[in-house]
Structure 1
Amino acid sequence: MLWFFVSLIALIGGYFIYGTIVEKIFGINEKRRTPAYTQQDGVDYVPISTPKVYLVQLLNIAGVGPIFGPIMGALYGPAALLWIVVGCIFAGAVHDYFSGMLSVRNGGASVPNISGKYLGNGAKHFMNAFAIILLLLVGVVFVSAPAGMITNLVNEQFSLHVGTGLMVIIIFAYYILATIVPVDKIIGRLYPLFGALLIFMSVGLITAIMLSDKHTIMGGFAIEDLFSNLNPRDMPLWPALFITIACGAISGFHATQSPLMARCMENEKNGRFVFFGAMIGEGVIALIWCTIALSYFGSLDGLSEAINQGGPGNVVYSSSFGLLGVFGGILAFLGVVILPITSGDTAFRSSRLILAEYFNIEQKTLRSRLLMAMPLFVVGGILTQVDFGIIWRYFGFANQTTAVVMLWTASAYLLRHQKFHWITTVPALFMTTVCVSFILNSSTLGFGLPMQISTILGFLAAIAMLAYVLKVTKGHDNEALSKVNKASDEQTKTA
């Protein structure tokens, strides 16, 4: 289990060391009033205490991604652990921090408007369409996955014959309610209970795997295996691993969620804990499930067979009940199930707010919120009829592409304000190469080009994107810096 503890220490150290560096480069202003106060409306802009904001942020971003992704990624061996740690600290947590703090600095704006401000109107329109598509895919994935898992639990443990369709309807009904009521009425009240289940799941399972005799595989890897592809299915590591493990390393979905809590955060000084810290928390969840996947089934071939029998959901079910028994297994399993549910409801909530911003429709009245929300649920309901595997593949690519745009947006912001932009530019270059290479090489989603050609074109696309960002930010530096300093002075006076 040494691999797990080294990785855990690295994640915690990343929060305190690298998180502090990122916060210093951004430059917080503790006296600047946040949107929770300047735009308070009792619905979406509501001051909420820091512990609750952190917990809601963690549950918002941590769907099935940091569970299913690391389980599938574990097929590559300990390289999955390395990507979770490095990706989470230097890409994912940085991405989440800037998506949240730029929203705070821009009145709680959603990611399309933020991207439009710093990258131009083309980026704004692209992100409006792409964010809605991504959120609908997330909503569908986070309906289908928990519905199937709950159905399996009920039928197996209580000998019932409940259909998945009924669970889909129940979850959708909850999503509709959570999407339209004030954020502090359901989400703010239920999430502490969900958080308790999450903590039990995380601590209980990793403790059980350490005490069991089924973790010898974690000690069977050599140091060179960190950089090797051990996949028994002979799947290529590049660039598939970096698409497979998104949540837990870096996820563009988080950029759509961070503005929700940017509208509720009480002070800019809480940003590192809420945004950077929640991503580190998700990294820990991913680390736990990657470790379980690498340990519980005895070998990578055993893990592959378990996935063949029922997908990553079967891995969750088998390990939860196998390690904790019936009662503990039910609690741990429910701790897993609540993650997609708490991300699915906020996915639809985010899409409602993005549409409302785009069409400039106020959201204080229930009628206006229903007007924006109901078409989304109609489309989402239709998409639940599509094969889950197809939806998941498109979700993975859309997810990482959204992260790419958010990272370039953050780089443009830092460049305009004459700050050290490489903390976002380096991961932006890497993830651009990953996404372009993946879509060019993929025969199922993309163009089926040879890997070498796809990688070269991916690298060239990343360099071209850097040149574009440098171009659009040129000449704006001093003007933008002057405006921000003036606005900051005004905010300080009114605080």
Structure 2
Amino acid sequence: MNSVWLVIIGAILFLTAYTLYGGYLARQWGIDSKRPTPSHTKYDGVDYVPANSKVLLGHHFASIAGAGPIAGPIQAAIFGWIPVYLWIVIGSIFVGGVHDFGSLVASIRHDGKSIGEIIEANVGKKGKILFNLFAWLTLVLIVAAFTDIVASSFAYNPEVQGFQAGPAAATSSMLFMVLAVLFGFMVYRKGYGVAVSTVVGVILLFLAIWIGYKFPFLALSKSTWYVILLIYIFLASVLPVWLLLQPRDYLNSFMLYAMLLGGLLGIFILHPNLELAAFKGFTVTTKTGAQYLFPILFVTVACGAISGFHSLVSSGTSAKQIDKEEDAKLVGYGAMLIEGMLAIVALISIAYVSKAEGTPALIFANGVATFMNSFGIPLEFGKVFVILAFTAFALTSLDTATRLGRYVFQEFFETVGGKNSALTNKYVATIITIVCASLILAYGYQKIWPIFGSANQLLAALALLAVTAWLTRIGKNRIVTLIPMIFMFCVTLSALIILTRNYFIAKNYILVVIAIVLFILAIVLLLEAINVIKNKKISQDIKA
């Protein structure tokens, strides 16, 4: 089959969904552009800062995308391209988009608070404590994972002769950070217009890429990059969001958009046929054993259709920067649909060469570089550019996850110890989060990585539960989040049962305990919320 049709059908469905279903959700939830948002009512110049909707879209998209929408569809392709494609499209529109948009709106109505705070307001204090504990542990895993991914991508290998993409990516990324600080300072402190600053910033961004490609002067070891990255994410967590995190993500988003558009244009020119089998069956045998389409497909695609990490971004950083409520549709729902398109390109990359080998990043880079080569981009340069973009995804997720980990840690100890607790200090919270991630990194987080996918999707189910409980309490239509919530709980709990069995057979008892704890946590929170949803109590102190 010609892959162009996958792009055309996906684009039409996503655009239609954004206009019709996104508009329907906005009306159901009472989006009002005149209602003051937390970025104004709680402005502090650090976390609560109103942002231009286009700038925030770039920050949000770069933060939520990570490596998930690339690695997920490629790994899930073992079942064939049809089930993966269907889940990307249907999931992005009716599950992931609703999850992200709903989490963002719910957080805006709760003064920019996290999903944990929303659970406390609508389910109870115990629910918040359990959720925040789970969310923080998940974020620690994300920090550990992406620190290793980025350090590995940046590392210089003295045994390899000639050009290496790692030092080039590292050089460009470090230049990005300097550029981001200058951009934030010029826009937010000197008052330069966003449009002019963006044009200059994007030009300098691609100049940085060229410098990194031609003069990769940061040829450092993996262990050295561990130290540099841990220092960087500490700064990214505590510095004002307008100074580093937001402008870096915003400028990086243009490189990500360029990669996505380049891949799409190349697909239209090259017309690559899908060599991968359309459907390989409900059960597929791999090196690690039998894999079942349900629930493994829905866990593996991850960010390509829905991700619990998105709810933490929506309710952690983005809700604090929304200028007007009407911007929530573009940022929350729109960004997820863009990510769906990226997932489609990733799927086509693996489906074009059915026997592609290597890491998901390498498979994706080879595929997209081949597509871009159809309109004159040199193949080798294209590979470097795509790997740079992939690294930018990972680095963006890393710094955002650290800041979110700090938020959740502070909220947890505000609940159990009061606001005067030393553990609510942002510097202390950041240091503890980073230290715990470092310990996992030293221990070997790879041993618990197989369960991360299930933990992430469980987080999505819990976020949908929180939004459903909130909609129930204020008397709004909850069916749009209730159905996705039920489905995601079925997926996650089924996956945890399978993982528990597999780990037990393999005598990996640590992972057995983790899987059981996650399962129990999900059940307890679910039962707590069911009482609220059944009773349909309307709380007078919740903002409608």
Does the TM-score normalized on the shorter chain lie above 0.5? yes
2:366 counterpart of 1:328: no
2:526 counterpart of 1:469: no
Equivalent residue for 2:398, pick from 315, 332, 344: 344
**Alignment of structure 1 residues 44-443 onto 2, 5 Å:** 44-78=47-81, 79-151=83-155, 158=163, 162-212=220-270, 214-217=272-275, 221=278, 225=279, 235-259=291-315, 260-295=317-352, 297=353, 299=354, 302-303=355-356, 306=357, 310-323=358-371, 324=373, 325-360=379-414, 368-387=425-444, 389-443=446-500
Q: Deviations over 1:16-36 (max 9, x none)?
A: 221111111111122221110
Contact 1:100 1:261 in 2 (8 A): yes
Distance 1:175 1:445 in 2: 35
Q: Once superposed, what is the RMSD of the aligned Cα atoms?
A: 3.1
The alpha carbon displacement at 1:370 in A equals 1.5
The alpha carbon displacement at 1:393 in A equals 1.8
Distance 1:428 1:67 in 2: 24
Distance 2:20 2:243 in 1: 36
Structure 1 gap segments, 5+ residues each: 450-460, 489-495
Question: How many pairs were matched up?
Answer: 460
SS at match of 2:302: coil
SS at match of 2:112: coil
Give % identity.
29
- One-letter identity of the residue aligned with 1:255: S
More off after superposition, 161-170 vs 7-16: 161-170
Distance 2:270 2:286 in 1: 25
Distance 1:276 1:47, change over 3 A: same
Query: Which residue does 1:25 correspond to in 2?
Result: 28
Equivalent residue for 1:37, pick from 37, 40, 60: 40
SS at match of 2:291: coil
- One-letter identity of the residue aligned with 1:145: I
SS at match of 2:292: coil
SS at match of 1:469: helix
SS at match of 1:442: helix
Distance 1:462 1:333, change over 3 A: closer
Distance 1:75 1:152 in 2: 32
Distance 1:205 1:26, change over 3 A: same
Normalised by the length of structure 2, the TM-score is 0.77
Distance 1:24 1:213, change over 3 A: closer
Q: Deviations over 1:208-231 (max 9, x none)?
A: 34444753427x74xxx4986677
Distance 1:483 1:156, change over 3 A: farther
The alpha carbon displacement at 1:444 in A equals 6.6
SS at match of 1:217: coil
Contact 2:67 2:390 in 1 (8 A): yes
Distance 1:354 1:465 in 2: 17
Q: Deviations over 1:391-424 (max 9, x none)?
A: 4323211101111111111111222222221111
Distance 1:265 1:445 in 2: 44
Query: Which residue does 2:14 correspond to in 1?
Result: 11
Distance 1:118 1:483, change over 3 A: closer
Contact 2:104 2:314 in 1 (8 A): yes
Distance 1:237 1:322 in 2: 30
The alpha carbon displacement at 1:193 in A equals 2.3
The alpha carbon displacement at 1:85 in A equals 0.8
Contact 2:37 2:325 in 1 (8 A): yes
Distance 1:204 1:231, change over 3 A: farther
Distance 1:277 1:229, change over 3 A: farther
Normalised by the length of structure 1, the TM-score is 0.85
The alpha carbon displacement at 1:90 in A equals 0.8
Contact 1:440 1:446 in 2 (8 A): no
Distance 1:362 1:127, change over 3 A: same
- One-letter identity of the residue aligned with 2:359: G
Distance 1:318 1:372, change over 3 A: same
Distance 1:281 1:100 in 2: 17
- One-letter identity of the residue aligned with 2:339: E
Contact 2:142 2:398 in 1 (8 A): yes
The alpha carbon displacement at 1:56 in A equals 0.7
SS at match of 1:235: strand
Distance 1:385 1:475, change over 3 A: same
